[in-house]
């Protein structure tokens, strides 16, 4: 199976981890199509999702690649197992590409004519999306099978941004959904839903998001393999909450989500102890 990865930056840890996961499973990417690192849309989305402090911290991990002890900075420690090989930690997609032997192409817009032309030359069976532009119909039609996304919430109940936090607030199980992308926002056919039960180690919402990102990377690899074997089929999303889409939440709602996470962690810990 020929797989291409779309990413928002060559420095995206999630994209690098995804490429490693696929390569280790025998699906070395045919190519990577990345947005330029200083893409305005990506920066605005990250500011909205993370806030200025976390964006600045992430930038420091890339500008100052090594700690004083010689080890490499990793913004999401849950991706360390994917990014570390021996004494080396992959710092960018260029490092991953050099290790596994695949091309990386950088474009200013994933939907541009130049991007579409490049994707068609790669002739992918599947495209794995790890971030970037809102994808248009012409791009979505390029892969033979479809464009896959790991959404950090259970669809169709939780669509949009801040999915882990909204899952807590709406009392929907925390989890991830691997689905095909269409022209809507998180409305494409579902391939697999996975509930995430290991909340006990998540001391903060950031911990939870980091764990879910790694969880999604792991699961999308399983789905790609299942598609290659022909053992999985997609199903359209139901009309449940058809028009429901969540956005970045206010700080006081984040505080409430943190309280609910703490309660769920306590309950999870108690359940483990009783078991």
Is the separation of the CB atoms in 98 and 29 below 8 Å?
Answer: no
CA distance 258 to 266: 12
Q: Is 65 helix (H, G, I), strand (E, B) or coil?
A: coil
pTM, whole model, 2 decimals? 0.87
Q: List the chain pLDDT tens, one digit each, 275 residues.
A: 999 999 999 999 999 999 999 999 999 999 999 998 765 555 555 555 555 666 556 555 555 555 444 456 788 999 999 999 888 899 999 999 999 999 999 999 999 999 999 999 999 999 999 999 999 999 999 999 999 999 999 999 999 989 999 999 999 999 999 999 999 999 999 999 999 998 999 999 999 999 999 999 999 999 999 999 999 999 999 875 566 788 878 889 999 999 999 998 887 665 555 55
List of residues 6+ apart from 219 with CB closer than 8 A: 150, 176, 178, 192, 194
CA distance 174 to 158: 10
Give the largest Cα separation in the chain, rounded.
Answer: 58
Q: Where are the beta strands (DSSP E) in 113-226?
A: 126-129, 146-151, 175-180, 190-195
Q: Which residues pair with 82 in a beta bridge?
A: none
CA distance 236 to 233: 10
CA distance 50 to 75: 12
Is the separation of the CB atoms in 181 and 188 below 8 Å?
Answer: yes
Is the separation of the CB atoms in 29 and 102 below 8 Å?
Answer: yes
pLDDT in the model for residue 69: 46
Is the separation of the CB atoms in 32 and 5 below 8 Å?
Answer: yes
Cα 73-77-82 angle, rounded to 5 deg: 95
CA distance 14 to 267: 30
CA distance 146 to 190: 12
DSSP assignment string, 103-137: -EEEES-TTSHHHHHHHHHH--SEEEE-S-SPPPH
Count of residues making up the chain? 275
Closest by Cα among 27, 12, 126 to 59: 12
CA distance 189 to 191: 7
CA distance 223 to 231: 9
pLDDT in the model for residue 88: 87
Q: Which two tokens stand for residue 83?
A: 């990014």
């Amino acid at each position: 199976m020929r797989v291409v990865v779309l990413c928002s930056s060559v420095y995206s840890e999630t994209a690098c981890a995804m490429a490693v996961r696929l390569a280790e499973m025998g699906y070395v990417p045919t190519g990577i199509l990345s947005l330029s690192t200083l893409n305005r849309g990506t920066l605005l989305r990250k500011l909205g999702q993370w806030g200025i402090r976390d964006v600045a911290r992430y930038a420091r991990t890339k500008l100052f690649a090594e700690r004083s002890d010689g080890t490499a900075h990793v913004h999401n420690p849950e991706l360390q197992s994917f990014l570390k090989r021996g004494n080396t930690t992959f710092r960018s997609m260029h490092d991953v590409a050099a290790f596994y032997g695949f091309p990386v192409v950088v474009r200013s817009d994933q939907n541009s004519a130049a991007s579409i032309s490049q994707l068609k030359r790669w002739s992918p069976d599947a495209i794995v999306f790890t971030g970037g532009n809102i994808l248009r119909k012409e791009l979505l039609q390029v892969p033979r099978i479809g464009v896959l996304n790991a959404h950090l919430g259970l669809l169709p109940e939780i669509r949009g941004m801040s999915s882990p936090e909204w899952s807590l607030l709406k009392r929907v199980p925390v989890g991830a959904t691997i689905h095909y992308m269409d022209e809507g926002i998180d409305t494409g056919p579902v391939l697999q839903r996975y509930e995430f039960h290991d909340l006990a180690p998540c001391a903060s919402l950031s911990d939870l998001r980091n764990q879910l990102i790694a969880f999604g990377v792991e699961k999308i690899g399983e789905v790609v393999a299942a598609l290659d074997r022909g053992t999985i089929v997609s199903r359209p999303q139901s009309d449940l909450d058809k028009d429901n889409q969540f956005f970045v939440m206010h700080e006081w709602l984040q505080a409430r989500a943190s309280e609910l996470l703490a309660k769920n962690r306590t309950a999870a810990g108690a359940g483990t102890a009783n078991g």
